[in-house]
Amino acid sequence: MRVRRNFVSNDFYRKGREENRVCLPWRFFVPFTVKQKNMLMSDKISHWIRPQIRALSAYHVPPSADLIKLDAMENPYHWPETMVEEWLAVLRGVSLNRYPDPSPARLKTSLGKAMGVPAGQSVLLGNGSDELIQMIALALAQPGRVILTPEPGFVMYKMIATMTGMDYVGVPLAADFSLDLEAMLAAIEQCQPAVVFLAYPNNPTGNLFDRLAINAVIKASPGLVVVDEAYHAFADDSFMDELGKHDNLLVMRTVSKMGLAGLRLGLLAGPDEWLTEFDKTRLPYNINVLTQVSAEFALTHRAVLDQQTRQICTDREKLMTDLQALDGIMAFPSRANFILFRVPQAAAVFAALKEQGVLIKNMGAEQGPLAQCLRVTVGTAEENGAFLRALVSAIK
């Protein structure tokens, strides 16, 4: 077959040179293509899949069947039976044959209200807040552009930076897990990040960073600052009210940790000008119809979710007291629905817990700030009791 000279446009070469891609004149493509065809599949994979992606590991979710599941910051409660019946009646009316509302205005309004988004600020919905992080990165990504975040922090910031071809800069937290403001400001000055992500409270450490320090980061940042309030329901503190005071601040929330993790629904709040741009990277119909109607339904029963949240906060305090009473355990203060703790021989303790039917999270660090650390999600009173009993026997 003859390959036409203009099969690949000159523009392609020009752009490629600008982006430092290797660009061969068109005639080199032909033998190259023939060579590809004779390659082993493994060679094709290593040739075509970007090295950054090959170096990644897919997000791992361990099997949890028959275990008490305290590893993923889920709310352990379901709904009263009458509420479930009412919800099922709503689902019966859903048209699964139709595409969902592409930009569900009513859900945006009710979720925005439920999350306390200030008047004049806009809302963008994501298939979980993970998708919102990805939309932001897709809109900002360019070779050399930086995502900056304190470490230890939420793993998805780094994964999404890698996936979207952005550079990632992690700035170590201070020894007590507070924001090292001096280090943050120096890194911001040096890297000029396109976006800074601050989880408030932070995952996996559970603490809130100092408000003044965050404000200083917002002021010093040339690009965006996203305050990720995934654990807002348990934190009793927020930057939502700061929206409108800074033109580079966005606040992110999710319904996942409020008891609706299965829905996959996150919210980004901030100036309409930014959100209009991010909206262009959103795949059509990203919020499915079952999520739309279920979230609206759940919000009309907000009191049930709030009561569960309050229960989790009460149980967190009890769990913290019980953990601190154990010899050899160092539990870190938490404003979220999980507790990070350090224990000698973390890997062995984790395995012994699992052996006794309790799954928590092993942070998997031999050294550094998370050395010998495990993270437990606050469950029901019974689950927390079972965890503590298993832990006592594991550290004996």
Ligand X SMILES: *Cc1c(COP(=O)(O)O)cnc(C)c1O
Please choose, out of 74-82, 125-133, 214-222, 234-242, the segment that lies near ligand X by the rule CB under 6 A. 125-133
- Calpha distance 136→382 (Å, rounded): 40
Nearer to ligand X, 129 or 309 (CB): 129
Residue 205 near ligand X by CB under 6 A: no
Q: Given candidates 128, 150, 152, 206, which one binds ligand X under the rule CB under 6 A?
A: 128
Measured from the CB atom, the residue of 121 and 256 that comes closer to ligand X is 256
Map residues 265-294 to x or -, x wherever contact with ligand X holds by CB under 6 A. Answer: -x----------------------------
> Is the CB of 257 or the CB of 354 nearer to ligand X?
257
280 burial type by CB count under 10 A (0-12 exposed, 13-18 middle, 19+ buried): exposed
* Composition of the chain by helix, strand, coil, percent to 5: 45, 15, 40
The rounded distance, in Å, linking the Cα atoms of 375 and 332 is 10
Phi, psi of 228 (to 5 degrees): -95, 105
User: If binding is defined by CB under 6 A, does position 383 make contact with ligand X?
Assistant: no
Whichever of 156 and 388 has its CB closer to ligand X, that residue is 156
**CA-angle at 222, arms to 193 and 186, nearest 5°:** 65
Contact 337, 378 (CB under 8 A): yes
DSSP category for residue 371: B
| 396 DSSP assignment | -
Note whether 203 binds ligand X by CB under 6 A.
yes
Candidates 122, 129, 205, 294: give the one binding ligand X (CB under 6 A): 129
Do residues 360 and 72 touch, judged by C-beta distance below 8 A? no
Among 230, 233, 260, 331, binds ligand X (CB under 6 A): 230
Instruction: Give the containing element (helix H, strand E) for 150.
Output: strand 146-151
Question: Minimum Å distance from CB 199 to ligand X?
Answer: 4
Tell me how far, at minimum, the Cβ of 222 lies from ligand X, in Å: 23
130 binds ligand X (CB under 6 A): yes
What is the residue whose two structure tokens read 């932001």?
136
By beta carbon distance, the residue nearest ligand X is 128
Q: Which of 254, 292, 309, 384 binds ligand X (CB under 6 A)?
A: 254
Contact range with ligand X by CB under 6 A, out of 7-15, 123-131, 214-222, 374-382: 123-131
Applying CB under 6 A, what is the total number of residues that bind ligand X? 12
Question: Pick from 169, 198, 199, 218: which binds ligand X (CB under 6 A)?
Answer: 199
Rounded least distance, CB 128 to ligand X, Å: 3
Instruction: Residue 372: name the closest of 331, 337, 333 by CA.
Output: 331
Question: Which residue among 76, 124, 152, 154 contacts ligand X (CB under 6 A)?
Answer: 154
Residue 365 near residue 371 (C-beta atoms within 8 A): yes
Q: How many Å apart are CA 342 and CA 328, to the nearest integer? A: 8
Cα–Cα distances in angstroms (integers) from residue 12 to residues 7, 21, 274, 277, in the given order = 10, 10, 29, 25
Question: How many Cβ atoms from other residues are within 10 Å of residue 224's Cβ?
Answer: 23
Work out the angle at residue 254's Cα, subtended by the Cα atoms of residues 251 and 260, and round it to the nearest 5 degrees: 165
**200 near ligand X (CB under 6 A):** no
Q: How far is the CB of 197 from ligand X (least distance, A)?
A: 8
- Spell out, one character per residue from 31 to 70, where the chain touches ligand X: x when CB under 6 A holds, - when not: ----------------------------------------
What's phi and psi for 308, nearest 5 deg?
-60, -40
Footprint of ligand X on this chain (CB under 6 A)?
A: 73, 128-130, 154, 199, 203, 228, 230, 254, 256, 266
